[in-house]
């Protein structure tokens, strides 16, 4: 890539393609490694933005991207994918122990909400990453990976033997 101040144009060479391009027709890619999860089934990636399909992905699939521009992420392996079709995975708390904190929690194999199994309170997982609504987890026992809603998990193991208080009688005094 070469810029000519005299012509106010960029010269590019990419394989058999060579020539001058006006700056308004060039978008610069911000180099940034990001792990993303596909939200919906049958999501396409493209060789060029809005160009020919490169691959098709399903909900819950994970892609490692190398860069981004305004509306798209780019992966050298997968091509371009629209930001509206993905959820960014945050790995700040990766490898921490995390537990199901309700009696019945849905362990999802994808992000559609249609493919799940119920797991019991106290089931232990290893946190692999988080999106805005879900934790990507791996079962401590089976190694199975999946998605569980953030509200259904905690870093503190729930007490499976919570004491139950039973009120057998009451006394009301003059102060209520």
Alpha carbon distance 115, 110 (integer Å): 7
State the pTM of this model: 0.72
Over range 158-174, report the average pLDDT.
70
pLDDT tens digits for range 16-64: 878 888 888 776 667 788 999 999 899 988 887 767 788 899 999 999 9
């Amino acid at each position: 890539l070469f810029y000519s101040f005299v012509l106010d144009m960029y010269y590019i060479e990419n394989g058999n393609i060579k020539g001058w391009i006006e700056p308004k027709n060039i978008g610069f890619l911000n180099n940034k490694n990001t792990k993303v999860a596909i939200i919906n089934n049958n999501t396409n990636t493209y060789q060029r933005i809005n160009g020919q399909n490169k691959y098709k992905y399903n909900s819950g699939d994970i892609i490692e991207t190398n860069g981004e521009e305004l509306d798209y992420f780019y992966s050298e392996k997968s091509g371009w994918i629209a930001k509206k079709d993905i959820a960014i995975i945050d790995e700040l708390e990766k490898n921490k122990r995390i537990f199901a904190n309700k009696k019945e929690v849905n362990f999802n194999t994808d992000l559609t909400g249609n493919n799940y199994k119920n797991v019991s309170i106290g089931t232990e997982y290893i946190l692999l990453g988080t999106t805005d609504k879900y934790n990507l987890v791996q079962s401590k026992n089976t190694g199975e990976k999946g998605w569980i809603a953030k509200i259904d998990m905690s870093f503190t193991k729930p007490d499976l033997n919570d004491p139950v208080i039973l009120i057998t009688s009451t006394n009301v005094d003059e102060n209520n």
